[in-house]
Amino acid sequence: MEDVQTLSFEAAYAELAAIVERLDAAELTLEESVALFERGRALAARCQSLLDEAALRVGRLEDNGTVTPLG
């Protein structure tokens, strides 16, 4: 499994939604469901911190393909 801390918001959110679906629906062993829950909690925390820390970045695309940050 990918390290939660490197996931984008989109990826973390999508995986969290999938975990909730599985926990809701699937017949799992106790160990599996607890492991899924723990993973889900880490994903939720990742999403939360991404939301809390988000600050829009703005840049300009140059002809050579590089992006110059704009103040």
Partner 1 sequence: MIDVVTVAELTAHIRQLFEDEPGLRDVWVEGEVSNFRRAASGHCYFTLKDSAAQIACVLWRSHAERQVMLPENGDAVLVHGAVSVYEASGVYQLYADRVRPLGPGDLHLRFEQLKAKLLAEGLFDAARKRPLPAFPRRIGVVTSADAAAFQDVLNVLRRRYPLGEVILSPCGVQGDAAPAQIAAAIERLNAHDACDVILVCRGGGSLEDLWAFNDERVARAIAASRIPIVSGVGHETDVTITDFAADVRAPTPSAGAELLAPDIADLRLGLAGLRARLSAALAAGLAARANRLERERRALRGASPLRLIERYRQRIDDWNAALATRQQQRLALLRERVNGRQAALAAASPAAILARGYALIAHADTGQRITSAHSPAAQPGAPLVISLHDGQRRARLED
Q: Judged by CB under 8 A, how many residues of this single chain contact partner 1? A: 34
Distance of CA 52 to the CA centre of its chain: 13
Interacting positions 14-33 with partner 1 (CB under 8 A): 16-17, 19-20, 23-24, 28, 30, 33
Q: What span, in angstroms and rounded, lies between the C-alpha atoms of 6 and 32?
A: 23
C-beta neighbour count of 68 within 10 angstroms: 9
By beta-carbon proximity to partner 1, the closer residue of 4 and 19 is 19
Q: Does 10 bind partner 1 (CB under 8 A)?
A: yes
Structure tokens at 20: 């909730």
- Return residues touching partner 1 (CB under 8 A): 8-10, 13, 16-17, 19-20, 23-24, 28, 30, 33-34, 37, 40-41, 44, 47-48, 50-51, 54-61, 63, 65, 67, 70
